[in-house]
Amino acid sequence: MSLLEIKNVKLKLDDKDILKGLSLSVSKGEVHAIMGPNGSGKSTLSYMLAGRDGYELESGEVFLEGQSLSDMEADERARSGLFLAFQYPVELPGVGGMSFLREAVNSRRKFLGEEELDHLAFVKEARKVASKMFVKDEMLKRAVNVGFSGGEKKRFEILQMAMLKPKVSILDETDSGLDVDALKIVSDGVNAQRNDDNAIVVITHYQRLLDYIVPDFVHILSDGSIIKSGGPELALEVEKNGYAGLINAA
């Protein structure tokens, strides 16, 4: 059974067709990359999967481990094991990083029937994971994403992913706004979480992220549907010839 199954989904925003029959099947242990030009529907796809209000499907269906997501709110989807790393992580003035993480982790643990972590145990765990992501203690004391640099925001996203241990992670343009060093740290963080039980969907414009997070499959998204799928070599083709060639051929 696929971990994530997207079946012929169609979605409109402001009466405009954005996703026009998109299908994708992601199994355990796989990393999929979805590449596409601006306006192809990449961010819409990630918001739709995460369950943002206003991104409800017109038709089609999405399954997480065989369970339909259509009646699930964003928070239920997350507790069930879906994670979205935001392209633009949202600033939360006044919400401390540590208490935010704890609330999120305990919501998931509660759902899984695990015991909630007490403050001390949690802080210990968070610090351990944070140090691997080069996230300083000081950053966890600050308000979430407030005054963080582009790199810090993305590192904090991946730190959340590491703490929540999702089954399926959607990384929406995680490489945007990162310099080479930051890109390496973030990618190492993602790679460390790859295992046989989870799956990762990387959404990106550029091939360069895929040098670090090497995908098993690459899909080209254009005008609301996947027009071509292949192995990592497809990303190199995009890098060489641009999207135009591929889109015209399809």
Residues that bind other proteins (CB under 8 A): 50-53, 73-75, 77-79, 83-84, 86, 89-90, 92-95, 100, 103-104, 107-108, 111, 143, 160, 164
**Residue of 90, 50, 100, 89 lying closest to 73 (CA atoms):** 50
Task: Tell me the chain's radius of gyration from C-alpha atoms.
Answer: 18
Strand partners, 6: 24, 62
Closer residue to other proteins, CB minimum distance, 37 or 89: 89
Question: What does the chain come to in residues?
Answer: 250
Distances (CA, A) of 45 to 14, 21, 55, 58, 67: 15, 11, 9, 13, 18
CB atoms under 10 Å from CB of 96, counted, come to: 14
Can you tell me whether residue 146 is helix, strand or coil?
Answer: coil
Token pair listed for 125: 């765990």
Closer residue to other proteins, CB minimum distance, 164 or 226: 164
Least spacing, CB of residue 55 vs other proteins, in Å: 10
DSSP alpha helix (H) spans, the chain: 42-50, 74-79, 97-112, 119-132, 137-141, 150-164, 180-192, 208-212, 233-249
CB atoms under 10 Å from CB of 8, counted, come to: 14
Least spacing, CB of residue 238 vs other proteins, in Å: 29
